[in-house]
Amino acid sequence: MFAALADPTRRRILDALAAHGEATATVLAAELPVSRQAVVKHLGVLDRAGLVAGRRAGREARYHVVPERLGITARWMDRIAADWDSRLAAIKRLAEAGGGDPGSAP
């Protein structure tokens, strides 16, 4: 999923889908500086990552964002960030409590 989100065009596609609620590759391509074929490929990557889902409506495929997958990832990242914040706070407390010469070797 992180590889899917790493690409700026895919993030723009997610933003556009969030704004529209649902859209076709043709509609998305009209808003982006890439071809419809490129949008279709990006949507495939996002679909495989579980970030978007498509449904057939006649001859066209309409895509929408799958917010649950993004929510799970955001909560996981929040837990990781909180863990690192705790670690950094502990390092800061140790450094401030040391009081010794920072240039001297242990």
* Angle, vertex CA 8, rays to CA 40 and CA 26, nearest 5: 30
| Calpha distance 78→10 (Å, rounded) | 22
Is the predicted pLDDT of residue 23 greater than 90, yes or no? yes
Tally of CB atoms within 10 A around 81: 10
Has residue 106 been placed in a domain?
Answer: no
What are the structure tokens assigned to 18, written together?
A: 């969030």
> Domain check: are 74 and 47 in the same one?
no
pLDDT at 34: 95
Averaged pLDDT, 8-32: 95
Residue 79 lies in a domain: yes
Two structure tokens written together for 4 = 């899917």
Q: Is residue 104 part of a domain?
A: no
**pTM higher than 0.75, yes or no?**
no
CB 70 within 8 A of CB 78: no
Domain with 8 in it:
2-65
Does residue 98 register a pLDDT over 60?
Answer: yes
